[in-house]
Amino acid sequence: MNAMEYFKNNQQSLAEKILSNQRISEEEALMLFDLFDLPQLAMLATHRKDIISGKDVFYNRNIHIEPTNICVYNCRFCSYRATSENDSYIFSAENILEKIAAVAGNITEVHITGGVHPDWGIYFFADLLKKIKTTFPHLHIKAFTAVEVAYMCSIDKLEIADGLRILKESGLSSLPGGGAEIFDDSVREIISPEKPSGQLWLSVHRTAHLNGLPGNATMLFGHVESRAQRIAHMSALRALQDETHGFNCFIPLKFRRANNRMSDIAETPVVEDLKTYAIARIFLDNIPHLKAYWPAVGRDFAQISLHFGVDDLDGTINDSTTIYTRAGSSENPDMSTPELQRLIVEAGFQPVERDSVYNKI
């Protein structure tokens, strides 16, 4: 057998495996990067998407709250962290309630995440959650990355399970997926050496799932990591999902280079981004949904990604996040419901409003 025949046989057998809905290995996921072109990956990812959600593409009506950009960690990729006292801010509970009140009649979810403030522990945030839930009982509160939760617990000397229980009793309903970055220790040593390990991130989410708090998962890609390290990251998520079934959605987050200490690294081309999305949809066979976070990747890319396995575009967001605009995204993070629906329809799909855990509204 010559090299061309070997190539074609491997490609065909892997495609047949995917089309027959079998799980693929890490090695096979790498083969998808190397052996398959974009149209082939689009077809295979769409097949996997169709099994889960057919022509539906989900969105919700939400607001993002970022209480502070003061952070004890100093991740090299971050453009959001305050670099000086003049650049820092803190929103009081009253500020936050006012921001929510301005849109409360038009949203179903409050998403809260931001810098890891050195003085704010579990009880500080439990008080904030109670105020939000008392004032806006109809809103789902999705809040706090695993890194934030772990630090809060350390401030108040609580076990993770106890801290999560307090937050849940105060109004927390689910966790976002941020802070995962790439789990590989050698990558984290370069991009976020002060931040806790990927194993801690997984442990916090395992504990959350087992205590009735579902969540999402992310991966920050396109910086110093290899394709193999991306696949290994997704493999760790897939293994945890096999155990707990607590992840609703996976969100690949593209590294943006502006205004941070990794600005010398070129951003990945669109072809690489689309391949990563499609392979994520194929490989993560047990995480129901794949999201394109449009403030990070832009409206045009988000629309194209719907043909590469994506079935969720996040939400309206209401111009309430600065994390990606500080990193160089040109998107104004505010989109009306009709505009979200239009993007989905123009791509040939059916827009479906969802709640925070993917029940159709």
Distance CA 306, CA 42 (A): 9
pLDDT at res. 135:
98
The sheet with strand 215-221 has its strands ordered as: 215-221, 247-254, 289-290
- For residue 352, the SS3 value is strand
pLDDT at res. 325:
46
- Helix (H) or strand (E) run with residue 63 in it: strand 62-65
Does residue 17 lie in a domain region?
Answer: no
Domain limits at 208?
27-353
pLDDT at res. 329:
42
The residue ranges of the chain whose pLDDT is under 70 are 1-7, 317-334
Q: Find the Cα–Cα–Cα–Cα dihedral 180, 223, 291, 231, rounded to 10°.
A: -70
CB-based contact 34:235 (threshold 8 Å)? no
CB-based contact 329:72 (threshold 8 Å)? no
CB-based contact 287:244 (threshold 8 Å)? no
What's the half-sphere exposure (Cβ side, CA atoms, 13 Å) at 31? 17
Give me the amino acid identity at 159. E
CATH number of the domain within which 133 lies: 3.20.20.70
Strand-pairing partners, residue 354, are 360
Cβ neighbours of residue 27 closer than 8 Å, sequence gap 6 or more = none
Distance CA 303, CA 46 (A): 14
CB-based contact 126:170 (threshold 8 Å)? yes
Report how many domains make up the chain.
1
Nearest CA-CA partner of 171 in 99, 105, 104, 112 = 112
Nearest CA-CA partner of 143 in 158, 119, 163, 157 = 163
CB-based contact 255:324 (threshold 8 Å)? no
- For residue 192, the SS3 value is coil
pLDDT at res. 315:
82
pLDDT at res. 7:
59
CB neighbours of residue 292 within 10 Å? 27
Longest CA span, the chain: 71
pLDDT at res. 116:
96
**Residues in the chain, total:** 361
pLDDT at res. 320:
47
Q: Indicate yes or no: pTM above 0.85.
A: yes
pLDDT at res. 176:
97
pLDDT at res. 2:
57
List the alpha helices (DSSP H) in the chain: 3-19, 26-35, 38-53, 93-101, 122-135, 146-155, 160-170, 185-191, 198-210, 227-244, 270-283, 294-297, 299-305, 337-346
Does residue 9 lie in a domain region?
Answer: no
Does residue 160 lie in a domain region?
Answer: yes
Does residue 88 lie in a domain region?
Answer: yes
Does residue 240 lie in a domain region?
Answer: yes
Strand bridging mode 172-174 / 350-353: unpaired
- The residue behind tokens 């301005």 is 102
The sheet with strand 56-60 has its strands ordered as: 312-315, 56-60, 350-353
N-terminal to C-terminal alpha carbon distance within the chain: 55
Within its chain, how far is the Cα of 58 from the centroid? 15
Phi/psi at 230 (5° precision) = -60, -45
Does residue 53 lie in a domain region?
Answer: yes
Does residue 15 lie in a domain region?
Answer: no
Does residue 135 lie in a domain region?
Answer: yes
Give me the amino acid identity at 359. N
The structure tokens listed for 98 are: 């006012």
User: pLDDT, tens digit, for every residue of 160-201?
Assistant: 999 999 999 999 999 999 999 999 999 999 999 999 999 999
